[in-house]
Amino acid sequence: MEVLTNGFLLGATYALLAMGLTLQYGVARIMNLANGEMLVAGAFAAFWAFTANQISPFYAVLFVVPLAFIFNWLVYRYLLTPLVRRAKSQGQLEVDTILATFGMSFALVGIMLMLFGGEFFTYSYLAEPFEIFGSPYGLNRVVACLASVFICGLLFWAIYTTRIGMAMRALTSNPDAASLVAIDVPRMSALAFSLGGAVSAVGGIMLSTFLTLDASIGVVFTMKALIIVIMGGVGDIRGAIIAAMVLGIAETLVASLIDPGLTLAAAYLLFILVLLFKPEGLFGRKAI
C-alpha cells in the first residue's frame, strides 16, 4: 500500500513531464532530447528562488512558466523552424531535430554548469510528514502531486474542450489534413512546443521540492518522459497518464525492494517490455 501510494505520488509528477513531451512530440512533431534540461532549468529556478529569495516554489511557477514559454518559443522559432523548412521528408526532420536537440541539451547543461556549478542541489521545503491511510508521507510529495494533478487536469480540459486544444488534437492525428481545415500549423506547432517546454519546467519545480538534482541529470528525465510517452502511445494523453502511474509505481517498487539507485533500470525494463510486445503503446492500434 505504501509503495502504491508513493508510486502514485511520483507518477503524478511524471504525468506532468509526459504531458510536456507529448505536446512537443505528439503535436509539434519535435523529438526533443533537451526536454530534461528544461526540467532541470525549472528546478534550478525554484531552488534559486527559494534559497536566495525565500520565495515558495509554487510562487516560482508564476515566473517560470512565462520565461520557459518564451524561451521555448524562441528555440522553436529560430532553431527548429529552419530544420522544419530544410527537411525533405519526415524521416529527415526526425534525424535533424534529434541531432539539434541533442546538441541543445549539451549546451543547456553547459550553461547550467556555468551558472550553478556541478554540485547536487536540494532545499528543504514542506519536509514534514503527512498522514495518508495511517502511514506518513512527505508533505512536499503530497503537495507536488496535488499540484501536478491540478495542472494535468487543466491541460486535459484545455485540450479536450477549447478550440486551440481541438486544433492541437487535429495536428496530432494528421498535420497535412489539419492545414487543409485552416489550422495554422506552424503557429500551432510553435505554441504546442512552447507550452510543452513550460509544462516540463513546472514539472522540474515539482520534482525539485522532494528530489536532489544536479545540472547533468536532465537526460534521465528525458528518458523517463520518452518512455512514458511511448508506453502510453504517442499523442495519447490518457495513455500517457496511465503509463506515468505505471512507471511511478514500478520505480518505487524497485527502489524499495532492490535499490534506489536502479530507478532507470526499472524504466528500461518497462521500455523493453513495451518494445517487444506493444510498440504502438498501451492503448494504441497498430498503424499500417
Distance CA 179, CA 89 (A): 17
The only residue of 18, 27, 104, 246 in contact with other proteins, by rule CB under 8 A = 104
Integer Cα distance of 287 and 51 in angstroms: 49
Query: Whose Cβ is closer to other proteins: residue 158's or residue 269's?
Result: 269
Cα-atom radius of gyration of the chain, to the nearest Å? 18
- Residue-wise over 161-177: b if at least 16 C-beta within 10 A, else e? eeeeeebbbbbbeebee
Question: Is residue 257 involved in binding other proteins (CB under 8 A)?
Answer: no
**Residue 235 CB, nearest approach to other proteins (Å):** 13
Q: Does 98 bind other proteins (CB under 8 A)?
A: yes
Distance, CA of 58 to CA of 248 (rounded, Å): 22
Instruction: Find the part of the chain contacting other proteins (CB under 8 A) among 10-18, 47-55, 87-95, 183-191.
Output: 87-95
Cα separations in angstroms, 22 against 16, 106, 189, 259:
10, 22, 12, 30
Contact partners, residue 136, CB within 8 Å, separation at least 6? 129, 130
What lies within 8 Å, CB to CB, of 59 at 6+ separation is 49
Q: Where are the beta strands (DSSP E) in the chain?
A: 129-132, 135-138
Asked if 89 touches other proteins (CB under 8 A), the answer is no
User: Is 253 a residue that touches other proteins (CB under 8 A)?
Assistant: no
Long-range contacts of 271-277 (CB under 8 A, 24+ apart): 271/227, 271/230, 271/231, 274/227, 274/230, 274/231
Q: How far apart are CA 188 and CA 193, in angstroms?
A: 8
Q: Closest CB to other proteins among 91 and 134?
A: 91
CB of 234 to other proteins, least distance (A): 9
Interaction of residue 116 with other proteins, rule CB under 8 A? no
Q: Tell me, what DSSP letter sits at residue 40?
A: H
The C-alpha cell at 253 is 517498487
The residue range among 54-62, 175-183, 206-214, 258-266 that interacts with other proteins, by the rule CB under 8 A, is 258-266
**How far is it between the farthest Cα atoms of the chain?**
59
How many residues touch other proteins under the rule CB under 8 A: the total is 47
What's the CA gap between 46 and 30, in Å, rounded?
A: 26
Q: Which segment (56-64, 96-104, 127-135, 163-171) binds other proteins by CB under 8 A? A: 96-104
> With binding defined as CB under 8 A, does residue 265 bind other proteins?
yes
Among 84, 94, 122, 123, binds other proteins (CB under 8 A): 94
Q: Which of 53, 91, 134, 257 binds other proteins (CB under 8 A)?
A: 91
**Position 180 contacts other proteins (CB under 8 A):** no
Nearest to other proteins of 126, 262 (CB atom): 262
Nearest distance from residue 126's CB to other proteins, in Å? Answer: 29
Residue 219 binding other proteins, by CB under 8 A: yes
Task: Name residues contacting other proteins, limited to 3-42 (CB under 8 A).
Answer: 31, 33
Q: Enumerate binding residues for other proteins (CB under 8 A).
A: 31, 33, 79, 82, 86, 91, 94-96, 98-100, 102-111, 113-114, 216, 219-220, 222-223, 226-227, 230, 258-259, 261-265, 267-268, 271-272, 275-276, 279, 288
